[in-house]
Structure 1
Amino acid sequence: MVAYLSNKLRQRKSPDVKIFFIGFNRCGTNSFHQLMTGSGIRSVHWLSPQKENITDGIEARLGDLEALREYLSPWTAFSDMISASETRFVEGNSFFPALHEAFPRAYFVLNDRDVEAWLRSRVQHSKGTFLQRAMAYHATDKDGVLDIWRRQHAEHTAKVLGHFAGNPRFIHFRIDRDPIEQMVDFLAPDFKVSASDWQVHKKSKASA
């Protein structure tokens, strides 16, 4: 309860201190969302409470930093930033340079995992419909989509690591091998989260 109230107070005093999870979906995003929510940190996961895709909302305001700050002001933590359909496939984690410019005091987390396990999890996501949407959008088969996703993962990781090199407000966190205590310590300057509250939500068979 003390940590919960402390986080509530911190968010009122420092509304510009955000937490952005800029890894891909199927990399523990729901687990981080639940950890944030349980700690009293206002968190949005994929959809806003108004059922708007948060990636769509961010993309629409990329050219206006003030509008972007205003749009994201109700929340503190952001995860699972993706907008995916047969005609639109936007990985919202690629917006990290604009998010960093808008919120220079924010924490940035590259939530990550073994690439092949991540691909298997994406293939299974939403009973395979996520893959079907990607195949339709990219006009290719399963193997073609997997090649695209591998390349996107490699390119995104390289760009993020280059952008945040030496930045103390950035962490590359592997959900399949790094202890959650690293995340607790990383956020400790501004937020209190408990390692005992961490658990894997919606764990796929691919990651078992």
Structure 2
Amino acid sequence: MAWDWLRPKPGRIFLIGHNKCGTRSFHKLLRKNGYSSIHYDKGRLARRIQANFTFSKPLLDGVDGYCGYTDMELCGEFYAYRLFPLLDLQYPGSCFIYNTRDVSRWVDSRMNHRKGKYARAYLDRMRRAYDDHSLTLEDLRQHWEEAWQLHDLDLRRYFAGRSNFFAFNISVPSEQAALCRFLRRRGYRIRGKVLPHAGARSSQASS
């Protein structure tokens, strides 16, 4: 449209759910619709944010040229999406998207990720961090379930009543459609109503 230049540009989008919950599919949705997005980047994204946090710099210093930010983690070390209050403070006008799925299936997906290498690496780092080599994969499973519940509670408390927050279940088509409508209302030009498939399983977006 001729007057599009008058519209304010939409802000950044932070995907603040866990990995194995459609993170790559959401990244692909943004890219497909012409928005720049960074996904994991072999851990470099989370590592840069971690360094910025440690040395009191703006969290996105050095990686601030994107619209979308997804899969901001270092396995068993650092989870940048847990810094959502600081991201909200430092980058006003941003949207925060909480991607969810059935918790038990999410844990299973993490356990099977990279043929179990992800879980073993996480458990090894957890054992070293707590100086407790008796921790087992079953302990890890319980830890992940508890971490999910805590993150869910923290997000819903912090963003209660906020218009820049949207939670959706990646496995429910109607909620994927609602996500696309939400983004359009926020000024993003998103075509369609489903997440593009990306990942190991064709039945749902699980990456």
TM-score by length of 2: 0.83
Give the distance between the partners of 1:132 and 1:192, measured in 2 at CA: 40
TM superposition shift of 1:122: 0.3
Q: Quick check: 1:129 aligned with 2:126?
A: no
2:20 maps to which of 19, 26, 29: 26
In structure 2, the gaps of 5 or more residues are 128-134
Aligned with 2:95 (options 84, 103, 107): 107
Q: Contact 1:121–1:206 (CA<8 Å) still a contact in 2?
A: no
Counterpart amino acid of residue 171 in structure 1: F
3-state secondary structure, aligned to 1:108: strand
- 1:56 aligns to what? 47
* Partner in structure 1 of residue 35 of structure 2: 41
- Structure 1 position 69, deviation (Å): 4.4
**Matches of residues 39-188 of structure 1 in structure 2 within 5 Å?**
39-47=33-41, 53-62=44-53, 67-84=58-75, 88-139=76-127, 140-177=135-172, 178-188=174-184
Helix, strand or coil at the partner of 1:71: coil
Could you tell me which runs of 5 or more consecutive residues in structure 1 were left unpaired when the two chains were aligned: none
Aligned AA (2:199): K
2:177–2:193 contact (8 Å) kept in structure 1: no
Q: Corresponding residue for 2:192? A: 195
Distance in 2 of aligned mates of 1:198 and 1:142: 32
**Following the alignment from structure 1 to structure 2, what is the Cα–Cα distance between the partners of residues 197 and 205?**
13
* 1:66, distance to aligned residue in structure 2 (A): 5.9
Identity of aligned residues (%): 24
Over aligned residues, Cα RMSD in angstroms? Answer: 2.7
Distance 1:196 1:168, change over 3 A: closer
Check whether the contact 1:180–1:195 (CA below 8 A) recurs between aligned residues: no
AA in 2 matched with 1:176: S
> 1:120, 1:206 within 8 Å by CA — same for their partners in 2?
no
Aligned length: 194
Distance 1:160 1:55, change over 3 A: same
In structure 2, how many angstroms separate the alpha carbons of the residues matched to 1:205 and 1:125?
A: 15
CA distance in 1, matches of 2:67, 2:198: 20
Q: Which amino acid aligns with 2:166?
A: I
Q: Structure 2: how far apart are the matches of 1:131 and 1:199?
A: 26
Write the deviation string for residues 30-86 of structure 1: whole angstroms up to 9, x where unpaired: 100111111111000001xxx5621111121126776334433211101111102xx
Distance 1:45 1:193, change over 3 A: same
CA contact (8 A) 2:49 2:60 kept: no
Contact 2:88 2:94 survives alignment (8 Å): yes
1:7-18 aligned within 5 A: 14=9, 17-18=11-12
State the 1:206 CA deviation: 9.8
Q: Which 4+ residue blocks in structure 1 deviate beyond 3 angstroms?
A: 63-67, 203-208
Secondary structure of 2:52's aligned partner: coil
* Residues 45 and 78, structure 1, Cα contact 8 Å, conserved in 2: yes
